[in-house]
Structure 1
Amino acid sequence: MFLEKIKTPGLSHLSYIIGSGGQAAVIDPRRDCEVYVEKARAEGLEITHIFETHRNEDLLSGSPILADLTGATVYHGPNAAGEIVFANTAREGDCFELGQLRIEVLETPGHTDDHLAFVIHDSEYCEGPVGVFTGDALFVGDVGRTDFYPERKEEVAGLLFDSLQKLCGLGDQAIIYPAHGAGSVCGSGMADREFSTIGHERRNNPRLRISDRDEFIKAKVAEHHYQPPYFRLMERLNLEGSDAAPRIMRPRRLGLEDLSESGADHLVDVREPLAYAAGHLPGAMCLPVGMIPAFAGWFLGEGDRIALVASQEDQLAHATAHLVRIGLDNVVGGYVGVVPAAAQGKAMRNIPMIGTEEIARRLNQDSREWTLLDVRDADERQEASIDGSEHIYVGELNTRWKELDRNRHYTLMCASGMRASVAAGWLASQGFKRLDIYLGSMGAWKQQSS
Structure 2
Amino acid sequence: MFFVDILEIEGLGNRSYLAGGREAAVVIDPPRDVERVVAAAAGRGVRIAYVAETHVHNDYVSGGLELARLTGATYLVPAAARVSFDRTPVADGDTLPVEGGLALRALATPGHTPHHTSYILQEDGREVAAFTGGSLLIGSVGRPDLVEPRLTEKLARAQYASAHRLAAELDDAVQVLPTHGFGSFCSSSQAEGDSSSIGQERKTNAALTKDVDTFIADMLSGLEDVPAYYAHMGPLNAAGPAPVDLTPPRTAGGKEIAERLAAGEWAVDLRSRTAFSAGHVAGTVNFEAEGKLATYLAWLIPWGKPVTLLADSPAQLAQAQRDLVRVGIDRPSAAATGDPAGWLSEGEVLRSFPRADFAALKKAREADESLVVLDVRRDSERAGGYVRDSVHIPVHEVHDRAGEIPAGTVWVHCAGGMRAAIAASLLDAAGRDVVAVDDSFDAALDAGLALTTGPGH
Cα displacement (A) at 1:362: 5.3
For residues 196-222 of structure 1, what are the alpha-carbon distances to aligned partners after superposition, in whole Å with 9 as ceiling and x for unaligned? 2111122233x2453311111111111
TM-score (norm 1): 0.90
AA aligned to 1:395 is H
Unaligned runs of 5+ in 2: 450-457
Cα displacement (A) at 1:448: 2.3
> 1:50 and 1:355, CA in 2 relative to 1: closer, same or farther beyond 3 A?
closer
Unaligned runs of 5+ in 1: none
Q: Say if 1:280 and 1:338, in contact at 8 Å, map to a contact too.
A: no
Q: Which runs of structure 2 are paired with 1:79-118 in the superposition (5 Å)?
A: 79-80=80-81, 82-99=82-99, 100-118=101-119
Tell me what 2:38 maps to. Answer: 37
Partner secondary structure for residue 130 of structure 1: strand
Tell me what 1:135 maps to. Answer: 133
Partner secondary structure for residue 233 of structure 1: helix
Cα displacement (A) at 1:192: 4.2
Q: Which runs of structure 2 are paired with 1:391-410 in the superposition (5 Å)?
A: 391-404=392-405, 407-410=407-410
> 1:75 and 1:339, CA in 2 relative to 1: closer, same or farther beyond 3 A?
closer
Distance in 2 (alpha carbons) for counterparts of 1:219 and 1:394: 25
Partner secondary structure for residue 328 of structure 1: coil
Q: Say if 1:57 and 1:234, in contact at 8 Å, map to a contact too.
A: yes
Q: Which runs of structure 2 are paired with 1:16-415 in the superposition (5 Å)?
A: 16-20=17-21, 22-80=23-81, 82-99=82-99, 100-123=101-124, 126=125, 128-148=126-146, 149-169=148-168, 170-187=170-187, 188-193=189-194, 195-205=195-205, 207-248=206-247, 250-261=248-259, 265-289=265-289, 290-338=291-339, 340-341=341-342, 346-361=348-363, 363=365, 367-368=369-370, 370-404=371-405, 407-415=407-415
Cα displacement (A) at 1:253: 3.6
Cα displacement (A) at 1:334: 2.3
> 1:357 and 1:31, CA in 2 relative to 1: closer, same or farther beyond 3 A?
closer
Distance in 2 (alpha carbons) for counterparts of 1:352 and 1:308: 23
Partner secondary structure for residue 411 of structure 2: strand
Q: Say if 2:362 and 2:448, in contact at 8 Å, map to a contact too.
A: no
Percent identical pairs in the alignment equals: 31
Cα displacement (A) at 1:181: 4.8
Tell me what 1:423 maps to. Answer: 423
Partner secondary structure for residue 111 of structure 1: coil
> 1:24 and 1:210, CA in 2 relative to 1: closer, same or farther beyond 3 A?
same
> 1:73 and 1:403, CA in 2 relative to 1: closer, same or farther beyond 3 A?
farther
Cα displacement (A) at 1:363: 4.7
Distance in 2 (alpha carbons) for counterparts of 1:377 and 1:86: 41
For residues 349-394 of structure 1, what are the alpha-carbon distances to aligned partners after superposition, in whole Å with 9 as ceiling and x for unaligned? 11222333443355557755x3211111111111121111121110
Between 219-228 and 375-384, the greater mean CA deviation after superposition: 219-228
Cα displacement (A) at 1:145: 1.5
Distance in 2 (alpha carbons) for counterparts of 1:131 and 1:441: 39
For residues 222-248 of structure 1, what are the alpha-carbon distances to aligned partners after superposition, in whole Å with 9 as ceiling and x for unaligned? 112221221111111011011111143
TM-score (norm 2): 0.89
Q: Say if 2:254 and 2:343, in contact at 8 Å, map to a contact too.
A: no
Cα displacement (A) at 1:161: 0.6
Q: Say if 2:33 and 2:63, in contact at 8 Å, map to a contact too.
A: yes
Distance in 2 (alpha carbons) for counterparts of 1:36 and 1:57: 21
Pairs aligned (count): 440
Distance in 2 (alpha carbons) for counterparts of 1:361 and 1:18: 56
Q: Say if 1:371 and 1:409, in contact at 8 Å, map to a contact too.
A: yes
Tell me what 2:454 maps to. Answer: none
Distance in 2 (alpha carbons) for counterparts of 1:408 and 1:88: 60
AA aligned to 1:7 is E
Distance in 1 (alpha carbons) for counterparts of 2:90 and 2:250: 42
Cα displacement (A) at 1:261: 4.8
Partner secondary structure for residue 209 of structure 2: coil
Distance in 1 (alpha carbons) for counterparts of 2:399 and 2:66: 32
Between 359-368 and 273-282, the greater mean CA deviation after superposition: 359-368
Distance in 2 (alpha carbons) for counterparts of 1:39 and 1:339: 37
Cα displacement (A) at 1:341: 3.6
Distance in 1 (alpha carbons) for counterparts of 2:183 and 2:392: 22
Distance in 2 (alpha carbons) for counterparts of 1:447 and 1:209: 39
